[in-house]
Amino acid sequence: MNDHSPMVFSAEDFRHRAQHQSGAPLMQAWRDHGDHALNADLMPILETMPLKDAAVLVSVVNDAHVPRVILTQRTDKLRKHSGQIAFPGGGIDAEDDSPEAAAIREAGEEIGLEPRFIEPVGRLPHYLAATGFRITPVLAIVHAGFTLTPNPDEVAEVFDVPLSFLMDPANHQTGSKQFRDGLQRHFYEMPYGEHHIWGITAGILRTLYERLYS
């Protein structure tokens, strides 16, 4: 944000920032943010790949004391991104009216979060994943009264991280790795306790920081 207002972490402030984002319009901005900006040479490759549309729920729990972001650890038996830290989400199905509908449906299927507690407040620019997905991060507030029941077929653990921790650039590390396709890729890492947040999830969180809190 560019208004130089004091940094406040609350659901209400998150809603305001989500609806008044800085930077280029969403459809044009994806190349400029997160680990896409660290891997500019890979962007032409991603743009020519056939990608399936997907959506994830980037949700902030409306807690007056410590607003928190809900994350999951995927089970080891999933075909893609097994064992990794992720937002609830998945592919957009034909019956989904919007990315919001897909993200909310997937949150229900994966962690048992009921739609009546979810208030969508915005989106981030697309994240293009080399694993074959064009991901729409849906920003939302989760209101009090919800319960979570992880689906054991998909989710090994559901946990939350303070929004203030994730939006502190001091907690944003960078790493690099040569993947099976032979390409060297750079990515963000945000270690939190025993959880290694990196890759797509950290890239989306970095984009959230750049669009809303930098």
Q: In tens digits, what is the pLDDT along the chain, a chain of 214 residues?
A: 445 556 889 999 999 999 999 888 887 888 889 999 999 888 888 888 899 999 999 999 998 889 999 999 988 775 565 568 999 999 999 999 999 999 999 999 999 999 999 999 999 999 999 888 999 999 999 999 999 999 999 899 999 999 999 999 999 999 998 876 667 889 999 999 999 999 999 999 999 999 999 9
> Which CATH number is 62's domain given?
3.90.79.10
Number of domains the chain contains: 1
Asked if residues 208 and 58 have their Cβ atoms less than 8 Å apart, the reply is: yes
Other beta carbons less than 10 A from residue 113's beta carbon: 24
**Is the residue at 61 inside a domain?**
yes
**Is the residue at 203 inside a domain?**
yes
Which positions ≥6 away from 88 have C-beta within 8 Å? 56, 57, 59, 70, 72, 103, 106, 107, 110, 111, 113
| Long-range pairs of 13-20 with CB within 8 A, sequence gap ≥ 24 | 14/60, 14/67, 14/121, 14/139, 14/141, 14/163, 14/212, 15/119, 15/121, 15/141, 17/212, 17/213, 18/121, 18/122, 18/139, 18/212, 19/121, 19/122
**Is the residue at 6 inside a domain?**
no
Burial 100-111 (b: 16+ CB within 10 A, else e): bbbbbbbbbebb
**Is the residue at 170 inside a domain?**
yes
CA distances for 85 relative to 80, 143, 154, angstroms: 12, 23, 12
Which positions ≥6 away from 116 have C-beta within 8 Å? none
**Is the residue at 31 inside a domain?**
yes
Asked if residues 162 and 66 have their Cβ atoms less than 8 Å apart, the reply is: yes
The per-residue pLDDT for 181 is 64
**Is the residue at 5 inside a domain?**
no
Assigned token pair, 97: 């009216």
Domain hosting 73: range is 11-213
Cα separation, 15 vs 143, in Å, equals 12
**Is the residue at 2 inside a domain?**
no
The per-residue pLDDT for 183 is 74
Burial 155-181 (b: 16+ CB within 10 A, else e): beebbbbbbeebbeeebeeeeeeeeee
- 0.85 exceeded by the pTM? yes
**Is the residue at 64 inside a domain?**
yes
Cα separation, 110 vs 155, in Å, equals 7
Cα separation, 136 vs 155, in Å, equals 20
Backbone angles phi, psi at 197, to 5 degrees: -90, 120
